[in-house]
């Protein structure tokens, strides 16, 4: 169902991402070792990844790095390895021969105990050794193993040089493919450092697949087809009004379709509930940022009110929060761009998500105030 709120797992539920999906599958077919799946929040990266992994027929592991980080406060090697292996074992459900071969391979690593799809560790653990064993198992099984880190930029906060570990695997373990997704595109690029001579992955090749917002026509067609799928006749005028406010962000379009088509709320009530949910979600996302500096909030507020130039944004921030030197202000602005909350074009700075922009414009106080 197009309006299913959960990330999609089947191609037929994935609207108009054929080109990106085929590029992903091509990268796997060519045995490429590093794939970056990029795009701002709520564009369906997880859905595309789910469908690609399912259709590949390959053993795979998918780890939600952001969830691990916020649940545990850090990402130690043993925790990451546990999630990696349990997800990989789960992907082999119904393929008993491969499952048993993998269990036998893992049993040769000191300190690892496997029971079904549960994995436990004891003693000192070496993640590099685990990856080497997985590469060896993949080669013997004539399979590739795909290891996907969803919101991979959070690996940089762990205090462990996971970028170096990935670089080692890319250079030495040819039967593994790493997929790194990120909605904080600038932060992910900084973490990977393909263009930074000081980073372990400098100069490595990566297949970059970027999800863009739907065009206006695509957004209208998405809503139209979703309502038709539910057997509902929704006027073209209503669909146009929804697209006008929600733009091409598939996450918001899906939520509107669900509220209007599945829960059958009236148009106005569906939009009100959508924006209430969006408000809670966006405030939660911003709460971590504003704990570091409340000026992040005032920058976003300034941009939401239509300030698009460096000078006009700084003037607003100083009016609300006091003087700040140019270098520090530029650093905050640059961080928000890397985090994906704002974008810079020839026309200046803007908020790429129209729902976030509208929510921010309507708020008077930063999160927690």
* Helix pair angle (45-56, 18-29), 10° resolution: 50
Q: Is 1 exposed, middle or buried (0-12, 13-18, 19+ CB in 10 A)?
A: middle
**Are 84 and 147 a contacting pair, CB within 8 Å?**
yes
C-alpha neighbours within 13 Å on the C-beta side of residue 290: 18
Residues 277-309: pLDDT tens digits? 999 998 888 887 888 889 999 999 999 999 999
User: How far, in Å, CA of 296 to CA of 147, rounded?
Assistant: 34
Q: What number is the average pLDDT over the span 210-217?
A: 95
Is the confidence at residue 369, as pLDDT, over 80? no
Instruction: Compute the mean pLDDT over every residue in the chain, rounded to the nearest whole number.
Output: 93
Give the domains, in start order, of the chain with CATH numbers.
11-210 (3.40.50.300), 288-369 (1.10.10.10)
User: How far, in Å, CA of 117 to CA of 131, rounded?
Assistant: 18
pLDDT of residue 17: 93
Residues 231-248: pLDDT tens digits? 999 999 999 999 999 999
From the CB of residue 159, how many other CB atoms can be counted at a distance below 10 Å?
Answer: 9
Most confident of 187-196, 223-232, 334-343: 223-232
User: When comparing pLDDT for 254 and 72, which is higher?
Assistant: 254
Is the confidence at residue 357, as pLDDT, over 70? yes
Quote the tokens at residue 360: 């921010």
Pair type for strands 118-121 and 112-115: antiparallel
Residues 313-325: pLDDT tens digits? 999 999 999 999 9
**Are 163 and 193 a contacting pair, CB within 8 Å?**
yes
Is the confidence at residue 368, as pLDDT, over 70? no
Tell me what percent of the residues of the chain surpass a pLDDT of 70: 99
Is the confidence at residue 146, as pLDDT, over 80? yes
């Amino acid at each position: 169902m197009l309006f299913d709120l959960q990330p999609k797992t089947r191609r037929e539920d994935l609207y108009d991402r054929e080109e990106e999906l085929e590029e992903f599958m091509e990268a796997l077919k060519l045995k490429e070792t590093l794939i970056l799946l990029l795009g701002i929040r709520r564009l369906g990266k997880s859905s595309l990844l789910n469908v690609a992994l399912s259709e590949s027929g390959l053993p795979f592991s998918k780890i939600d790095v952001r969830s691990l980080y916020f649940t545990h406060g850090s990402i130690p090697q043993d925790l990451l390895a546990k999630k990696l292996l349990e997800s990989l074992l789960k992907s082999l459900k119904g393929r008993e021969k491969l499952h048993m071969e993998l269990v036998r391979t893992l049993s040769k690593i000191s300190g690892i105990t496997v029971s079904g799809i549960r994995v436990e560790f004891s003693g000192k653990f070496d993640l590099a050794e685990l990856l080497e064993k997985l590469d060896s198992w993949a080669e013997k099984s004539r399979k590739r193993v795909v290891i996907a880190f969803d919101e991979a930029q959070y690996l940089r906060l762990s205090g462990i040089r996971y970028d170096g570990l990935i670089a080692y695997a890319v250079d030495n373990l040819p039967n593994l493919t790493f997929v790194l997704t990120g909605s904080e595109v600038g932060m992910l690029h900084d973490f990977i450092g393909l263009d930074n001579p000081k980073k372990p992955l400098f100069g490595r090749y990566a297949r970059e697949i970027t999800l863009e917002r739907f065009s206006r026509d695509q957004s209208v067609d998405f809503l139209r087809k979703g309502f038709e799928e539910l057997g509902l006749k929704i006027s073209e005028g209503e669909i146009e009004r929804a697209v006008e406010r929600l733009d091409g962000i598939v996450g918001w379009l899906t939520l509107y379709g669900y509220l209007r088509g599945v829960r059958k709320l009236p148009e106005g009530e569906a939009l009100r509930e959508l924006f209430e949910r969006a408000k809670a979600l966006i405030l939660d996302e911003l709460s971590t940022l504003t704990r570091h500096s409340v000026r992040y909030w005032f920058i976003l507020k300034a941009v939401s009110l239509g300030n698009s130039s460096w000078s006009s944004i700084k003037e607003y921030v100083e009016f609300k929060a006091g003087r700040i030197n140019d270098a520090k202000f530029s650093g905050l602005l640059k961080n928000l761009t890397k985090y994906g909350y704002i974008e810079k074009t020839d026309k200046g700075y803007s908020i790429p998500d129209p729902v976030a922009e509208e929510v921010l414009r309507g708020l008077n106080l930063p999160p927690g105030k």
